[in-house]
A and B are shown apart, each in its own frame.
Chain A
């Protein structure tokens, strides 16, 4: 993913980086897990110095300070810690505004309902935030530097626009392994998979984020009626995702009219950094959008 195209016109976020390890959402996150920072040693220190020097209130983070390796292997083990079960995770640190208000009980849904898997630099959740101001949404990103960037981006946006962007947050985690640690059965209303890594080689297909086995997990954390969105600019991957979803008994494609009405559909191509890049280059995209349907074992839960 490219490192450009960030709005850099706004004043700055607080860039406190404790060396390597930081506390995020009550969970200790190892800064140097499997995804080794691109910049090491002296260069890394320089980078930190720059970051600290440039810290002015309300400024959006600069993407060039958060460059990471283009890909990391989602199958290798991670250093970051993961909640044992969903109830153990303290979301109030991700969404302080939502959780602090007094009238929380009244009609306010304090459960995360949307998840953007492999959110990259966070374009989608940022764009969706004002469209669904009452829904909590989280971006999940494996790469440390990238998730850190999104975190700073959200902090800056909240400072620039008081009262807004309070419903979005980001988590560094491996979504291929740990989704059931964060979400309960039937919790999510929308899941997004925008421009996922293609893993071209046959032997690496099992690293793909849409697979028959993983769809069973997604179906588990999704509410019946919830919608799963995928888009890619890689034709082969697009066909793979469509075929895999078509074959799955718990997912059903949306009809053309339904797609027409869905406000999220246009965002798939325009909201994220990767989508914008593809659009700039005039590339084709392939979408597969499905609804979670009840299976034969459905108990109405």
Chain B
């Protein structure tokens, strides 16, 4: 569920006018509550491994617009594991049947979408857009889906959003250092008007939220490099872990924001990943003592995880990777332009390589011991993605782009620039030192 920060590349090459700046979207990973599926979201794609069949599953989408047209930014399983939701830069909200992996419905919003989560009873799902508005939708297949505002953080980007395990609250974090605990209403379509409390203490943007156990403890991580433990009924700060302390490899100067948090559904373990950080921090969250203690830093040499998720057996799944987003200018409004951009996003995602690892009992499993083995790694990492498929997709995307560009009569120089950029994009790098 956590949304990671956008990573901007150093110096972008000279762009034609309508292309703003390049950005990348981190790969995300999540394990279904029952443990039947592991899903990696990379760029516009979902890569799904089915443990029952020991094979990859392809999604089916006959809604319009089909699939995603740009990077997926947040994904979530419903608590019962039957539903799955994806949102992203293409402003699309998609609800999937997590057994058949067909798309149940697609809702198009007007702003990029940064976070998604389900209500505890799986009857509702909520999405947050870049203007800080949270919309609520019914998960029923045949509901009318006019966006209904549940709540809003006035004019701040909402970075993460989760419902409390007791179903009483929806918790949202934002760029303006705030964590807000709002009563989850009986009738969500009438809005959530009662703010229960704020958890204030972060001195920079808040990036991620997680619940530890069912004991009413909330965890948050932020741009201040801190991981904080809260009693969310009262908004009391219980404990703070400073990731810049000791010899963890982070420092005030290193200034690595906490990217994402995950709490184990089985034990008191909590895991955190940081920006540009080759490892994962494992904590125990002592509910009785209301404290957060570092157990171990598990190193992942060569890879900085961009996403993490516990499965129901306590294994911690990590993914490292990123895909460039298709940055569109204002002119990208015609159907052809949207289609061309989507083709480009699909080609990027198809070619993107990620790295998946599993931590069990505080140590990294070697490739062969990863549950699902080789078949799983091939599916999720895309390292052996069908070369001809990638090529065809890339060529199709290039052709579509070229058509557009020719129509707009760019100078040859600009066109060359664009081509260069596309070539740069073909293989999306794995984040490594």
Contacts and interface: CB of A to CB of B under 8 A. Distances in A.
A212 B153 CA distance: 11
Interface centre among B154, B176, B195, B203 (most CB of A within 10 A): B154
From DSSP, what is the main secondary structure of chain A's interface residues? helix
Contacts of B192: 216
B156 interface: yes
A180 B198 contact: yes
B183 A297 contact: yes
A213 B200 contact: no
B47 interface: no
19 contacts: A75-B155, A84-B201, A84-B202, A86-B200, A176-B154, A177-B156, A180-B200, A185-B197, A206-B155, A211-B152, A211-B154, A212-B191, A212-B193, A213-B151, A213-B152, A216-B182, A219-B193, A249-B190, A297-B194
A249 B187 CA distance: 12
A215 B154 CA distance: 11
Contacts of A295: 183, 193-194
Contacts of A181: 200
A299 to B, nearest CB: 9
Nearest to B152: A213
A180 B180 CA distance: 10
A213 B149 contact: yes
Contacts of B133: 213
A248 B193 contact: yes
- Chain A interface bracket (under 10, 10 to 19, 20 to 34, 35 or more): 20 to 34
A226 B153 CA distance: 23
B177 A249 contact: no
Interface of B: 131, 133, 149, 151-156, 176-178, 182-183, 186, 190-198, 200-203
Given A176-B155, A213-B151, A84 B195 contact: no
A66 interface: no
Contacts of A176: 154-155
B149 A212 contact: yes
A131 interface: no
Across the A-B interface, give the 6 residue pairs with the lowest CB-CB distance, nearest first: A213-B152, A85-B200, A220-B195, A75-B155, A297-B183, A297-B194
A217 B201 contact: no
A140 to B, nearest CB: 14
Contacts of B198: 85, 180, 220
Interface in A82-106: 84-86
Contacts of A85: 198, 200-201
B176 A216 contact: no
A216 B153 CA distance: 10
Contact of B131 (A206, A296, A297): A206
A271 interface: no
